[in-house]
Chain A
Amino acid sequence: MYSEKVMDHFSNPRNVGEIENPSGVGTVGNAKCGDIMKIFLDIDNGVIRDVKFKTFGCGAAIATSSMATEMIKGKTLKEALKLTNKAVAEALDGLPEVKMHCSLLAEEAVKAAIEDYIAKNPDAPME
């Protein structure tokens, strides 16, 4: 049911972990629903230098976390905010219909982490 790419990102997820003193942190989902994504960003001058994640969730949740972090690494905040769940799912060669909400969670986690950074640094550059 999962593509090879999903299984690859599930088996060898990229960017797992935490960042000490992160520039921004975003947590979305809740344990009740069986999905929690936490994304940590290290931002320097409008650019995402490093990103890490921790996820409680199914195979698709872990794979989309991994892929979403890969897609925003090295990008400007402005570019990262354009990340869509559709793009994450496409980069994984598609997700089963019932798992599309997992990719939405990844998009939301990235946005939440960037918003957290902006709230703390209202005058920081976006690119």
Chain B
Amino acid sequence: MRKVYMDYAATTYVKPEVLSEMLPYYGSIYGNAHSVHSYGREAAKAMELARSRVANAIGALDREIFFTSGGTESDNWAIRGVVSASKKGKHIITSQIEHHAVLHTCEQLQKEGYEVTYLPVDEYGTVSLDALKAAIRPDTALISIMFANNEIGTIQPIAQIGKIAKENNIVFHTDAVQAIGHEPIDVNEMNIDLLSISAHKIHGPKGIGALYVRKGVRINNLMYGGAQERGKRPGTDNTPLAVGFGKAIELACTDLEARNMALTEKRYQILNGVMSRISNVRLNGHPINRLPGNLNFSFSFIEGEALLLSLDLKGIAASSGSACTSGSLDPSHVLLAIGLPHEVAHGSLRVTIGDDTTQEEIDYFLRELPPIIERLRAMSPLTVED
């Protein structure tokens, strides 16, 4: 059966040129980067090249990059590490549409005595700058707002948020896991103090990410141990993964603009194709200001998991914000936050494409989707009259 991957926001394959740079570090170059001997020095050299590639991608200094196990650890560390070290107070500002790595960390901190403001978003999923300004208090220790949303792709006004944070002397963290390799990021221009990224979303290996921490920002450790990562993130350096991350981020940030344009063109082709072939469908997220490869639809009268299963039977891989795919009874918190009624949120479909998505794959998707929607709607007791 034909297989079409349209779930690039979930994860990506490791590019061959990334893997080939990694492999020697599983084989002959296996030293511990903190050993003094030649084995160690070779590994340490690779770590420093990887760190510098990550730093270059976001305009940071090498010493401001700390490798972690991925986006989730970076988010946990950024938030907990900053607020526990802060002398300003115990108030955090974030948004209602953050990734669970941020939201659940904030919820846990509330149980530990912190106060959290969850900023609402408008119908497109954009945080209001006025609401942000109004939420700031003298004891606000941290603002954490994601760069771009993983479900609906909406890009936040990060530079303006950074400016507001700086004017108010508040540390600003952004989860840029989805944005890296798609949006140009400069931590200095945008006044970003901490930034979370992950390798596997950009054709790097799973299990490694990084946290950028601006020089001078006070942050406590999550874990204690050896002196790795300048004593802030202990544990033996994972050299092969760091090497892969370094290569992947370098590739992901090359020709960014041209690749984005090509991706955006493909996105519009799918959007127009879906809108012209299917009725009672809406696009979730911002119409323009969104990640180039992200589309999120709500199809009325049907449920998302049934749709995913049907697509999967045709070899098409996508994802949904329906409750049945989240393991809970509630549909996606992001779709509810942009104001979708529950039943519409249940019928969502996220399609995320990448550089490798071909014309044939798009044609195949646009051919297979309408009969699937029609079949599920014919089975549904819900109709336009409801």
A residues contacting B by CB (< 8 A) are 2, 7, 10-11, 13, 16, 27, 31-38, 54-62, 98-99
Chain A contacts of B346 at CB under 8 A? 31, 34
A36 touches B382 (CB 8 A): yes
Asked whether any CB of chain A lies closer than 8 Å to the CB of B381, the reply is yes
B381 touches A54 (CB 8 A): yes
A59 touches B306 (CB 8 A): yes
A58 touches B324 (CB 8 A): yes
A59 touches B309 (CB 8 A): yes
Chain B contacts of A62 at CB under 8 A? 306, 379
B382 touches A33 (CB 8 A): no
Q: Please report the C-alpha to C-alpha distance between residue A2 and residue B309 in the assembled complex, in whole angstroms.
A: 10
A16 touches B329 (CB 8 A): no
A31 touches B306 (CB 8 A): no
Chain B contacts of A2 at CB under 8 A? 309
Known: A34-B329, A55-B381, A99-B324. 16 other contacts (CB 8 A): A7-B309, A7-B313, A10-B309, A13-B379, A31-B382, A31-B386, A32-B342, A32-B343, A34-B303, A34-B322, A38-B381, A55-B379, A57-B306, A58-B322, A61-B306, A98-B327
Contacts A/B (CB < 8 Å), 17 sampled? A2-B309, A16-B379, A27-B381, A31-B342, A31-B343, A31-B386, A32-B341, A32-B342, A33-B323, A33-B342, A34-B303, A34-B323, A56-B302, A58-B322, A59-B306, A61-B303, A62-B306
B residues contacting A by CB (< 8 A) are 301-306, 309, 313, 322-324, 327, 329, 331, 341-343, 346, 378-382, 386
Chain A contacts of B309 at CB under 8 A? 2, 7, 10, 58-59
Nearest A-chain residue to B302, judged by Cβ: A56
Q: Please report the C-alpha to C-alpha distance between residue A59 and residue B379 in the assembled complex, in whole angstroms.
A: 12
Nearest A-chain residue to B305, judged by Cβ: A58
Which of A16, A27, A32 is the one whose CB lies under 8 Å from B378? A16
Given contacts A38-B381, A57-B303, contact A11 B313 (CB under 8 A): yes
Nearest Cβ on chain A to B305's Cβ, whole angstroms: 4
A34 touches B381 (CB 8 A): no
Q: Please report the C-alpha to C-alpha distance between residue A58 and residue B304 in the assembled complex, in whole angstroms.
A: 7
Chain A contacts of B341 at CB under 8 A? 31-32
Chain A contacts of B304 at CB under 8 A? 58
Closest 9 CB pairs of A and B: A31-B343, A58-B324, A58-B305, A54-B381, A34-B346, A32-B342, A38-B381, A56-B380, A59-B309
Chain B contacts of A58 at CB under 8 A? 303-306, 309, 322, 324
Nearest B-chain residue to A55, judged by Cβ: B379
Nearest A-chain residue to B331, judged by Cβ: A34
Nearest B-chain residue to A56, judged by Cβ: B380
A10 touches B329 (CB 8 A): no
Given contacts A11-B313, A32-B343, A34-B343, contact A55 B305 (CB under 8 A): no
Nearest Cβ on chain B to A74's Cβ, whole angstroms: 23
A10 touches B323 (CB 8 A): no
B329 touches A33 (CB 8 A): yes
Q: Please report the C-alpha to C-alpha distance between residue A54 and residue B376 in the assembled complex, in whole angstroms.
A: 10
Q: Please report the C-alpha to C-alpha distance between residue A26 and residue B302 in the assembled complex, in whole angstroms.
A: 19
Nearest Cβ on chain B to A109's Cβ, whole angstroms: 11
Chain B CB within 10 A, most for which of A31, A32, A37: A31
Q: Please report the C-alpha to C-alpha distance between residue A56 and residue B378 in the assembled complex, in whole angstroms.
A: 10
B379 touches A34 (CB 8 A): no
A56 touches B301 (CB 8 A): yes
